[in-house]
Amino acid sequence: STLATIPQPPAVPLVGNIFDIDPETPLNSFYSLAKEYGEIYKLVFFGRETIIVNSRKLAAEVCDERRFHKSVRKNTLEEVRCLTGDGLFTAYHGEENWGIAHRVLSPAFGPASILGMFDDMYDILSQLVLKWERFGPKHAIDPADDFTRLAFDTIAYCAMSYRLNSFYTEGTNPFVEAMGSFLTEAGSRVRRPGLVQRMMSSTNAKYAEDQRVMLDLAREIVEERKRNPNDRKDLLNAMLNGKDAQTGKSLSDTSIMQQMITFLIAGHETTSGFLSFFMYYVIKYPAVYSRLQAEIDTVLGTEKISREHLSKLPYMVAVMREVMRLKSTILGFAVEAPQDEVIGGRFFVKKETSVFVMACNVHRDPEVWGDDVEEFRPERMLDGKFEALPPKAWMPFGNGQRSCLGRSFVWQEASMAIATLFQRFDFRACDPSYELKIKQTLTIKTQGFKFFAIPRKDRT
C-alpha cells in the first residue's frame, strides 16, 4: 500500500511552526489546527518533529502498549524532570524507579484505600463549605481560587497528613505560586532555543528559586515525619515503610520528595480546573442544574454525605464525565514507538518520534460523538452509553500503565465536593453574560468566571 504524507502547516525557516501556536492559549490553536488538518498533522519546532493525533481511531492505535509507550522526550514533561526527576509522572518508559514506585503506591491509590481517606477529605471540604457560608450570598466566588485551596489542602492532608491551611491564608500560598510560575516557564522553555534560554538570566534565577521553594516544603514534610513517625495510612507512610516485592527495594528520600511534589502538581491544578469547569457548565445549563440538584436532594436529603451515598448518584457521574469530555484539564499525552510504525494503514511514524494524543480533540471526534460535539449533554454518558463507547473515546486520565494513578482519589474528592456543595448552596453566575475564557498553564482552567453561593436554609 502507499504511504500518505502527514500534513504540516507552512513552516518558517529555523523556528518551524512556532507561530502556529498561540503562546497564551495553545488549546485554541489545537482546536483550529484540528479543524483545518483533521485527524493527523505534524508540527516542527526548531527541527524537532511532533505528530498530533486527533481521531479516536488513530488514538486507539497509538494507545496500543505493545507498539507505543509514554514519551517524555523533548516535551514539557522532560523539562519538569529537573524538579521531579524519575518520579511517577515524569519517569521515562522503563525506568527502574517508576516500577518500584508504581508497585509500592498502587495499593495506596486503590479504591479501598481512597475510601479510607473519606473523613480526611471531608475535613478539608467542610472548611470550604464553612467559608462560603460565612461569606454569604453576595460574595463573588472565583472557583479557580477556592477549588485550588480545596484540592491542594486535600492532597497534602490525605497524602502526607500535612495541613497547608490555605483556607486560612489570603492570596496565593507561596508553594502554589512557585508551582504555577515554574510550570508556565517549563512549558515556555520547550519552545525556546537554548541560546535564548541561557541569556534569560532573571527568568532562569526565578525558575531555580521556584524549585527551591517546592523542594524545601517537601523536605520539611519528610523530615518532620521521620522525627515523629505515626501509623496513619497515608501515602507518605506507604512510601517510607513500603518495600517493592519484586526488587526488594524501597524509595530513597529524594525519590519520596519527588513523588510528593508530583502528587501536589498532578493533584491540585487538574482537580481545581475540573471543578471550575463543572460549575461553569452546570450553572450555564439550568436543566442539568435542576436534575443534578434533584438527584442530590433525593439521595442525601439533609444528611451529611457518607460513603454509601457515593454509588447512588448516576446523573452526577454522567455530568462529571461530560465535563471531562469537553474540558479535559490535561489536553493530552505523548507517546512514541521504539521501532518505525505505520498508523491508520498509511501514515509513517519514524521510531522515537513524539506522537501527541490530543485527548481534547479525540473527545470531539464526530465519528464517536455525532455532529453536536460542542454541546454539553450529560445524557451521552447515561444509561450504559458510557460503557458502550468504543475503546479510547474518552481519555481524560491518559492511557494504560502510565494513566492517572490519582483517578480514584480525584473521583471521590470531586464527588464528595459536588454532592455537598449542591446540597448546601444554590449557585448563580455573577455575570449571566460571561463567555467562557480559558487560562492555560500545563493544565487549563476557567478565567474570570465567578458565581454566588447562596446557602439553602432548609438544608443545613
Residues that bind ligand HEM (CB under 6 A): 70, 88-89, 102, 155, 262-263, 266-267, 270-271, 274, 328-330, 333, 396-398, 402-406, 409-410
CB of 96 to ligand HEM, least distance (A): 13
Nearer to ligand HEM, 310 or 452 (CB): 310
Q: Which of 439, 107, 362 is nearest to 241 (CA)?
A: 107
360 is in an annotated binding site: no
Q: Which of 391, 314, 298, 362 is nearest to 30 (CA)?
A: 362
Distance CA 252, CA 239 (A): 9
Distance CA 305, CA 313 (A): 12
Among the options 68, 376, 397, 409, which is catalytic? 397
Phi and psi at 295, nearest 5°, equal -60, -45
Say if residues 41 and 307 touch (Cβ distance below 8 Å): no
By 3-state DSSP, what share of the chain in percent is helix, strand and coil, each rounded to 5? 55, 10, 35
CB of 88 to ligand HEM, least distance (A): 4
CB of 260 to ligand HEM, least distance (A): 10
Nearer to ligand HEM, 42 or 70 (CB): 70
Nearer to ligand HEM, 2 or 246 (CB): 246
Supply angle C-alpha 205, 206, 208, rounded to 5: 65
**C-beta contacts of 338-345 below 8 A and 24+ residues apart:** 338/69, 341/67, 341/68, 342/3, 343/40, 343/53, 343/58, 343/61, 343/62, 344/39, 344/40, 344/57, 344/58, 344/61, 345/1
Nearer to ligand HEM, 175 or 409 (CB): 409
* Annotation says 404 is catalytic: yes
Identify each DSSP E strand in 57-194 by its residue range: 69-70
Please, what is the angle between helix 174-189 and helix 76-84, to 10°?
Answer: 140
Q: How many helices (H) and strands (E) does the chain have?
A: 17, 11
CB of 324 to ligand HEM, least distance (A): 7
CB of 126 to ligand HEM, least distance (A): 19
Among the options 270, 271, 420, 441, which is catalytic? 270
Say if residues 216 and 223 touch (Cβ distance below 8 Å): no
Cell numbers 521510531 label which residue?
351
Nearer to ligand HEM, 365 or 452 (CB): 365
Among the options 45, 262, 404, 451, which is catalytic? 404
CB of 323 to ligand HEM, least distance (A): 10
Return the bridge partners of 16, or none.
12, 45
38: left (phi over 0), alpha (psi -120 to 50) or beta: left
CB of 19 to ligand HEM, least distance (A): 26
DSSP string covering 26-81, please?
HHHHHHHHHHHHTTEEEEEETTEEEEEE-SHHHHHHHT-TTT-EE--TTSHHHHHH
Residue type, 437: K
Nearer to ligand HEM, 41 or 274 (CB): 274
Distance CA 271, CA 113 (A): 19
CB of 205 to ligand HEM, least distance (A): 28
Give the HSE-up count for residue 190: Cα atoms under 13 Å, Cβ half-sphere. 25
Cell numbers standing for residue 61: 492505535
* Annotation says 270 is catalytic: yes
The catalytic residue positions are: 270, 397, 404
Binding site membership: which residues? Answer: 404
Q: Which residues are annotated as a binding site for heme?
A: 404
